[in-house]
């Protein structure tokens, strides 16, 4: 357990009176990214006199919440670069709840506190119960089916937030803003879609109320936050003098772009390094395609080649060149950013990927690919198809995902696929011959590829060709070959 009195003198402690904080925000998804990103920005504001505090919620696992409670709602964040590190104690958490342990009713009640003005979330794309190919609610999702039948006992994120909106409305409390901090294009629009579409299935008037009174600001978040390992916890405990099971590590880089559209106030995040803008979409697309798209490319093709970390991929000149080519040749032309030096942005991303102090595992990034592919790679592929231009690195990323979800690596070892559609993927793989039939079968997954890409001969043939190259020659040789051709 974290012990403040044992911390080294160079560890930064909260320089504010924590008792003055108010629970003005409820955040769903107390994961590593939130702890290293939004909570950090809010902690910096507390040091400037802000009274905005967080009620942190995990809906499934209660381990982190229990550990946080045992150490007075405090945890450490360590920023690491190749030559330096800095640790600070985050003290901006005022409450902590576990959906299963404390009960979902306690979570709804927490969101119904009068001072709450913002409900935010980092639950990954799969938590929204939406169809990535369309951005709309998936009415067949098991949790949505349950919530339609039992609205007072929600299991899904949309159902949970809807229950809180209903309760606040019944109590004549002011509405809150709902802010997604997950990696999806127009994440505010997606959040609005799933909640209002679920509401409409209950009561059309409720959906109209939400459209009129609730705001859904979009955001773009950027920081590399690797999952903590046992070795990382051990090293940190040795340095801090006590063990922090809630600790998180991150790179020094931090970016947060927020659509300034809040119905009931917000913290002055611009004073903690955030950018408040009227339109987040160009920033979202730039980050999703150039950073997240190259991350997914490196995750699948790096994992297949035996590279455990992103920094390991960067030590391979071909992978480094391929990542940069993907960003600038394939992704940059599809963007609508103005006044941004995309070449400099690409170079900054490569430099961040080279940070060996950050152990960002390719396997971690490779999870939940069915939720990530549409916005990271497929939207760009569609742009190139419309414009009659090539995008071989994007298509190799798609082929790399297909090779990865086939479930066996290049050494013949089984890959444990972590994905909300893993059962469907396993069924497709089991019932298709490796090669062109496998590609065709995977492209039929409309939830990922829509119903259009499988009808595009140029797309299908090139993905098939690259997939077969991966099967026959391996990831490393395929990447090297494409870089040489380019």
Q: Please give the domain boundaries of the chain with CATH numbers for all domains.
A: 4-277 (3.40.50.720), 281-485 (1.10.1040.10)
Distance CA 395, CA 467 (A): 9
What six digits make up the tokens of 21?
């904080």
| 142-159: pLDDT as tens digits | 999 999 999 999 999 999
Question: Which of the two residues, 61 and 31, has the higher pLDDT score?
Answer: 31
Long-range contacts formed by 190-194: CB under 8 A, 24+ apart? 190/128, 190/130, 190/135, 191/128, 191/216, 192/216, 193/130, 193/135, 193/136, 193/137, 194/128, 194/129, 194/130, 194/136, 194/137, 194/157, 194/158
Bridge partners (DSSP) of residue 25 are 54, 118
Question: Tell me: the pLDDT tens digits for 298-322?
Answer: 999 999 999 999 999 999 999 999 9
Percentage, residues of the chain above pLDDT 70: 100
Is there a contact between 64 and 93 (Cβ–Cβ < 8 Å)? Answer: no
Phi, psi of 34 (to 5 degrees): -60, -40
The answer to whether residue 363 scores a pLDDT higher than 90 is yes
Which among 367, 252, 354 is positioned nearest to 313, based on CA atoms?
354
* Confidence label for 93 from pLDDT (cuts 50, 70 and 90): very high
CA nearest 144: which of 134, 152, 153, 155? Answer: 155
Which helix (H) or strand (E) element contains residue 399? helix 392-405
User: pLDDT at residue 339 above 90?
Assistant: no
Q: What is the pLDDT of residue 84?
A: 85
Rounded Cα distance between 443 and 402, Å, is 9
Q: How confident is the model at residue 133 (pLDDT cuts 50, 70, 90)?
A: confident
Tokens 């003198």 correspond to: 9
- The overall average pLDDT reported for the chain is 96
Question: Taking the model in full, what pTM does it have?
Answer: 0.87
* Average pLDDT over every residue of 102-107: 97
DSSP character string of 88-152 = EEE--EEEEEETTTT-HHHHHHHHTSTT--EEEE---GGGG-EETTTTEE-TTSHHHHHHHH-TT
pLDDT on residue 135: 86
- Asked if pLDDT for residue 21 goes beyond 80, the answer is yes
pLDDT, tens digit, 9 for 90 and up, residues 396-442: 999 999 999 999 999 899 999 999 999 999 999 999 999 999 999 99
336: number of Cβ within 10 Å: 10
What is the maximum span of the chain, computed from C-alpha positions, in angstroms? 65
User: Does an H or E element contain 76, and which?
Assistant: strand 75-80
With 80 as the cut, is the pLDDT of residue 486 above it? no
DSSP secondary structure code for residue 275 in this structure: E
Answer yes or no: is pLDDT of 386 > 80.
Answer: yes
| Residue 482's pLDDT band (cuts 50, 70, 90) | very high
- For residues 332 and 326, the answer to whether their CB atoms sit within 8 Å is no
CA–CA distance, 294 with 343 (Å, rounded to integer): 14
Model confidence at 61, pLDDT cuts 50, 70, 90, reads: confident
Indicate if the pLDDT at residue 33 is higher than 90. yes
Residue 46: pLDDT band (50, 70, 90) is: very high
User: What is the distance between the alpha carbons of residues 62 and 253, in angstroms, rounded to a whole number?
Assistant: 29
Sequence-distant (≥ 6) Cβ neighbours of residue 142 within 8 angstroms: none
Q: Residue 230 has what pLDDT?
A: 95
Q: Are 56 and 29 in contact (CB under 8 A)?
A: no
pLDDT at 185: 84
What confidence score (pLDDT) does residue 5 get? 86
92 touches 56 (CB < 8 A): no
């Amino acid at each position: 357990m974290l012990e403040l009195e044992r911390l080294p003198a160079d560890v930064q402690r909260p320089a504010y009176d924590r008792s003055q904080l108010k629970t003005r925000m409820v955040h769903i998804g107390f994961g590593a990214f939130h702890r290293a990103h939004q909570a950090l920005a809010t902690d910096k504001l507390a040091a400037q006199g802000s009274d905005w505090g967080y009620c942190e919620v995990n809906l499934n696992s209660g381990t982190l919440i229990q550990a946080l409670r045992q150490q007075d709602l405090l945890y450490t964040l360590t920023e690491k670069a190749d030559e330096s590190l800095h640790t600070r104690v985050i003290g901006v958490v005022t409450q902590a709840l576990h959906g299963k342990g404390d009960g979902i009713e306690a979570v709804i009640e927490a969101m119904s506190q009068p001072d709450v003005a913002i409900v935010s979330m980092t639950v990954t794309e799969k938590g929204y119960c939406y169809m990535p190919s369309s951005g709309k609610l998936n009415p067949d999702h098991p949790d949505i089916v349950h919530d339609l039948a039992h609205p007072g006992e929600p299991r899904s994120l949309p159902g949970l937030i809807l229950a809180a909106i209903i309760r606040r409305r019944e109590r004549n409390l002011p509405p809150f803003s709902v802010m997604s901090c997950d990696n999806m294009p127009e994440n505010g629009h997606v959040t609005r879609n799933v909640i209002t579409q679920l509401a409409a299935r209950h009561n059309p008037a409720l959906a109209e109320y939400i459209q009129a009174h609730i705001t859904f600001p979009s955001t773009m978040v950027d920081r590399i936050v690797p999952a903590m390992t046992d070795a990382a916890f051990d090293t940190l405990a040795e340095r801090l003098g006590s063990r922090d099971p809630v600790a998180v590590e991150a790179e020094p880089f931090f970016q947060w772009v927020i659509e300034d559209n809040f119905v009931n106030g917000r913290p002055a995040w611009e004073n903690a390094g955030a950018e408040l803008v009227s339109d987040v979409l160009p920033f979202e697309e730039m980050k999703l395609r150039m950073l997240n798209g190259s991350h997914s490319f490196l995750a699948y093709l790096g994992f297949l080649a035996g590279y455990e970390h992103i920094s390991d991929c960067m030590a391979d000149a071909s992978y480094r060149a391929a990542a940069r080519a993907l960003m600038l040749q394939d992704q940059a032309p599809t963007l609508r950013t103005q006044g941004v030096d995309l070449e400099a942005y690409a170079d900054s991303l490569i430099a961040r990927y080279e940070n060996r102090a950050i152990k960002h595992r390719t396997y971690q990034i490779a999870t939940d690919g069915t939720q990530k592919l549409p916005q990271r790679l497929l939207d760009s592929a569609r742009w190139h198809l419309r414009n009659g231009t090539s995008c071989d690195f994007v298509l190799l990323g798609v082929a790399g995902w297909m090779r990865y979800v086939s479930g066996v690596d290049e050494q013949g070892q089984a890959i444990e696929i972590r994905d909300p559609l893993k059962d469907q993927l396993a069924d497709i793989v089991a019932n298709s011959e490796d090669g062109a039939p496998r590609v065709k079968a995977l492209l039929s997954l409309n939830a990922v590829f829509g119903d259009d890409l499988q009808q595009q001969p140029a797309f299908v043939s090139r993905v098939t060709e690259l997939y077969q190259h991966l099967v026959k020659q391996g990831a490393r040789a395929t990447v090297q070959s494409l870089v040489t051709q380019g």
